[in-house]
Structure 1
């Protein structure tokens, strides 16, 4: 094996070849690395180093590529040495995989050309009603409004009053206040969230699940010189029926998958019937 200094020099020169794209046919045939009876050639490095990478960085990338290649060859050699290779079995598996891959690509092309991807609200509602047992919550979900403020933010009492008000003018005043003082707020979010999503925004774990049904009241949490004002607008507990709004995208995907299967099954029947019609299929007597 070459000394590290020679390796470094070789890798630098190789990277220069890659970057400049000055590939000489005689150099392409010279091996630059070996593992058992396998050789890596200069031409095998084409595309390894991006054109905008130069100097030591390019040399490092070439070195990493060669190192990875040798590791792969060592593991392959180890596997081939310690396994009784059944070439026919491997060939059968390759043929099976090839057939599956060709069929998969054909099915994907068929889906792109013919699948109706529009799923109506009526379809979603029907699926939800017929499969309610499949939409039981495994953990709580919440609708929450929140305001994040510095601990020294002014007029907190006024903010809390505006936060619980149903007057449109108060909502407008509160929004203007939040734009001025709050780094993060959501006053009327109607989206359902898992608690771990909300935990990325405010310390919801400090509320406790026993408070999740205390709706439309302000929870006040102070943490790290920050004040959080939180109102839970709605909640659903684990083992309860998940709201359709929360499951809408999931149901849409489920319906689309059903449509895909139906389209593929229809295609299979049509092509099989056509093959029978054209006498392309026969069963011989033994």
Structure 2
């Protein structure tokens, strides 16, 4: 087995100004370390030092880098010497397969970025939803609800409760103006929300929140809680379009990507066949 030679030439010139552009005395091809036939050059060390580093710290960092470089090279040599020819061939195949996949996927990504139409109309979303409704069953309970909580000793709590119970738009606007008094709140009951998310903020049971109700009130040592449930959807019911619209857009885009790549592949095969670069015997 060959004798492994490691030469670390870490000299006093390892400092911040060692890497200065103005240095003239030494060549950029100067060797600083050797492991077997592998060489580490001073040029390779230029980018490892951050700006404004002290001379002492730069010396420590350079030494550490050289040490790590040497260990890596030594381990690699040991691994090569102790691997069978068959295992080395298998590794070469894997490396080549990975390289090919990386190149192909990079090329596909560039094509997608250049040619993919990312504009999706509301009509297309709605059409896709209607054609695939049975596939959009809920895995969670949803509600349309408004809620808020505040300190139970708040002076104007009666007024807040009255405003919360009102269906008048002006009362809702007045309630929103008082939002600085609330610990938590959401007054938009036109959007579907997961019940479990609301339960993290309010001390109600799931049973309470899965019943349509105009008003529920609860008080504990931490505060007063108000909630109104406008609508409910249970598990396995069809998800509303508004709730899964973004998901549908992702599905449409994914379908477009697949179709685009298939079209490109057909064109590539056709061109190669016409130019006699692809033949089947």
TM-score interval, normalised by the smaller of the two chains: 0.7 to 0.9
Q: For structure 2, which runs of at least 5 residues remain unmatched after alignment?
A: 1-9
Q: Name the structure 1 match of 2:160.
A: 159
Q: Name the structure 2 match of 1:5.
A: none
Note the C-alpha offset of 1:149: 2.0
Q: Name the structure 1 match of 2:111.
A: 110
Report if the CA contact (8 A) 1:147-1:184 is conserved: yes
TM-aligned CA distance change 1:162 to 1:37, over 3 Å: farther
Note the C-alpha offset of 1:255: 0.6
TM-aligned CA distance change 1:71 to 1:131, over 3 Å: farther
Report if the CA contact (8 A) 2:195-2:209 is conserved: no
TM-aligned CA distance change 1:69 to 1:244, over 3 Å: farther
The correspondence of residues 235-250 of structure 1 with structure 2, limited to 5 A, is 235-250=232-247
The correspondence of residues 99-248 of structure 1 with structure 2, limited to 5 A, is 99-179=100-180, 181-198=181-198, 202-204=200-202, 206-215=203-212, 216-222=214-220, 225-248=222-245
Residues 67-76 or 245-254, more deviating: 67-76
Q: Work out the CA distance in 2 between the residues paired with 1:104 and 1:210.
A: 49
Q: Work out the CA distance in 2 between the residues paired with 1:236 and 1:269.
A: 45
TM-superposition CA deviations, 1:176-220 (whole Å, max 9, x none): 2224x2254321253333345445xx534x322222222332343
Q: TM-score, normalised by structure 1?
A: 0.74
> In proportion to residue count, which structure has more helix?
1
Report if the CA contact (8 A) 2:149-2:223 is conserved: yes
TM-aligned CA distance change 1:273 to 1:27, over 3 Å: closer
Note the C-alpha offset of 1:222: 3.4
Note the C-alpha offset of 1:175: 1.6
Q: Work out the CA distance in 1 between the residues paired with 2:65 and 2:152.
A: 53
CA-based RMSD: 3.7
Note the C-alpha offset of 1:279: 2.9
Note the C-alpha offset of 1:109: 2.0
Residues 160-169 or 107-116, more deviating: 107-116
Q: Work out the CA distance in 2 between the residues paired with 1:113 and 1:97.
A: 24
Count of residues in Structure 1 that have an aligned counterpart in Structure 2: 269
Note the C-alpha offset of 1:91: 2.8
Q: Name the structure 2 match of 1:258.
A: 255
Note the C-alpha offset of 1:61: 6.2
TM-aligned CA distance change 1:221 to 1:48, over 3 Å: farther
Q: Work out the CA distance in 1 between the residues paired with 2:83 and 2:190.
A: 60
Report if the CA contact (8 A) 1:160-1:218 is conserved: no
Q: Work out the CA distance in 1 between the residues paired with 2:58 and 2:156.
A: 59
TM-aligned CA distance change 1:149 to 1:14, over 3 Å: farther
Higher-Rg structure is 2
TM-aligned CA distance change 1:151 to 1:254, over 3 Å: same
Q: Name the structure 2 match of 1:48.
A: 48
The correspondence for 2:278, drawn from 262, 270, 281, is 281
Q: Work out the CA distance in 2 between the residues paired with 1:149 and 1:60.
A: 57
Report if the CA contact (8 A) 2:143-2:210 is conserved: no
TM-aligned CA distance change 1:93 to 1:148, over 3 Å: same
